[in-house]
Structure 1
Amino acid sequence: MPQHKVLVFDTSVPALAKIAGAKLPNSYLKKLKKFRYGMGVFKVDWALSGPIPFKSPIARKAGTIHLGSGMKEICHSELQAANGRISLSPFVLLGQQSLFDSTRAPKEMHTAWGYCHVPNGSNVDRTELIENQIERFAPGFKEPILARHSINSAQMEAYNHNYLGGDVNGGSMDIAQLFMKPTFQLKPYRTPAKGIYLCSSSTPPGGRVHGMCGYNAAKQNCQRFFS
């Protein structure tokens, strides 16, 4: 590692152990090995000749849509993926930002993306299942598709080694890891090694586009280094 006053790791838990392992006690490294990763994702990006023709007027005006036929179907889909199985009606998180951002696509064209959860590390193609699910709520969705790009969980990890098994959320969000991770301690961002911290989505409050992991790490543990 380079000479440093403080090192703040925005990485996965295994990457922290690999890079800083010589500085960390074995007892802490053993705890890190118990960290669990959750479901992977299968993602599709589309180039479209027009907007997605949702039956719902509200959905036509939404930037992000959580797509499923009721809570029962959504829960079943997520449970299937968590248990290593395939749901034929996957819960799909879908974004259609080109409706509001003209820089996303050429004039009168559109882009969209969608993903579903899959078993961690899965390399099975879910493109058709995702498109069929969207077609249920937007009949004719497939007609304006000009091009598509799909990426499975294994490819997602190859793209970013911090996405272990395609888990873009930085770790399983089960009850044991919801509030204290990567290890069970009141100050999860701090490691036993002086000046070494973890601030990635593998710390509370977990993954999402909010930046709170880094903010909390700096506020709780790193203040004295930056004052």
Structure 2
Amino acid sequence: MLKIQGLDFPDLYRSRLGSYKYGAGVFKMDWALSQPIPFTSEKCRRAGTVHIGFTEDEIEQSEEQIHNKKMTDTPYVLVAQHSNFDDSRAPEGKYTAWAYIHVPNGSIKDFTTIVENQIERAAPGFKNCILDRSTMNTVQLEAWNPNLVGGDINGGKQDITQLFTRPIVSISPYSTPDERVYICSSSTPPGGGVHGMCGYNAARKVLKDHFQDFSH
């Protein structure tokens, strides 16, 4: 945001935004498959989204390592298998799926093998179903969407400090010193994962500030 030309932001506000911290990035994969992912669990085969983590300790260690800018061979994996339920997502008789893992912010490492190994543990034979794949590391994700700084899909680190004070400590985090500009991304409360609420709250603030008859 600070790179946008023509914004009327005072130096103090720019400085406060400049100290905003970003969290872990993601490594994303997409697959073309010859059949649905062969999860051993029937519940997983019937789910649109599957969160893969084999033990509580494994998940906790994985996330802790990532935020210490390290990586494990057994990361937590989020998998979406949309074509099982939406025929428009793949050619007839074929399937698609995507997944991502958390990785250190800005990492350019290829985690293909690690991701596919984790899915294979939960779905033996998965690798044999792969017809084609594509990958995007954190740098490629940011190039595709500049909001994904360092591959951070949550719009900033969501620790105890920045959970509610996004992007700065402010009574109105959606407005800025420039009355023409509002922030509606996941860099405002309630942050990433609560889809649409940041924009909804920002829109309500715009209506309140600029339309006097707005009362709901």
Q: Could you give the per-residue CA deviations for residues 47-93 of structure 1, whole angstroms, max 9, x where no partner exists?
A: 00001110100000000011111222111111111111011101001
Q: What displacement does 1:188 show?
A: 0.6
Q: Could you tell me whether the CA contact under 8 Å between 1:21 and 1:29 is conserved in 2?
A: no
2:139: which partner in 1? Answer: 154
Instruction: Choose the corresponding residue for 1:103, options 88, 107, 129.
Output: 88
Secondary structure of the residue aligned to 2:174 is coil
Q: Could you give the per-residue CA deviations for residues 100-152 of structure 1, whole angstroms, max 9, x where no partner exists?
A: 00001111211000110000000000000000000001011101100000111
User: Are positions 1:74 and 2:70 aligned together?
Assistant: no
Q: What displacement does 1:209 show?
A: 6.3
Task: Give TM-score, length-normalised by structure 1.
Answer: 0.89
User: Are positions 1:38 and 2:17 aligned together?
Assistant: no
User: Are positions 1:207 and 2:207 aligned together?
Assistant: no
Secondary structure of the residue aligned to 1:197 is coil
Aligned AA (2:46): K
User: Are positions 1:192 and 2:168 aligned together?
Assistant: no
Name the CA distance, whole Å, in 2 between partners of 1:29 and 1:49: 51
Would the alpha carbon gap of residues 20 and 203 (structure 1) be closer, same or farther in structure 2, given more than 3 Å must change? farther
Task: Specify every segment of 5 or more residues in structure 1 that has no aligned partner in the other structure, as ranges.
Answer: 1-14
Task: Give TM-score, length-normalised by structure 2.
Answer: 0.94
1:136: which partner in 2? Answer: 121
Q: What displacement does 1:221 show?
A: 4.4
2:107: which partner in 1? Answer: 122
User: Are positions 1:145 and 2:130 aligned together?
Assistant: yes
1:50: which partner in 2? Answer: 35
Aligned length: 212
Q: Percent identity?
A: 53
User: Are positions 1:174 and 2:154 aligned together?
Assistant: no
Task: Specify every segment of 5 or more residues in structure 2 that has no aligned partner in the other structure, as ranges.
Answer: none
1:112: which partner in 2? Answer: 97
Name the CA distance, whole Å, in 1 between partners of 2:192 and 2:160: 15
Would the alpha carbon gap of residues 187 and 20 (structure 1) be closer, same or farther in structure 2, given more than 3 Å must change? farther
Name the CA distance, whole Å, in 1 between partners of 2:15 and 2:50: 40
1:183: which partner in 2? Answer: 168
Secondary structure of the residue aligned to 1:177 is coil
1:11: which partner in 2? Answer: none
Would the alpha carbon gap of residues 34 and 21 (structure 1) be closer, same or farther in structure 2, given more than 3 Å must change? farther
1:29: which partner in 2? Answer: 14
Would the alpha carbon gap of residues 119 and 28 (structure 1) be closer, same or farther in structure 2, given more than 3 Å must change? same
Name the CA distance, whole Å, in 1 between partners of 2:98 and 2:183: 30
Secondary structure of the residue aligned to 1:18 is coil
Name the CA distance, whole Å, in 2 between partners of 1:177 and 1:224: 25
User: Are positions 1:217 and 2:192 aligned together?
Assistant: no
User: Are positions 1:165 and 2:165 aligned together?
Assistant: no
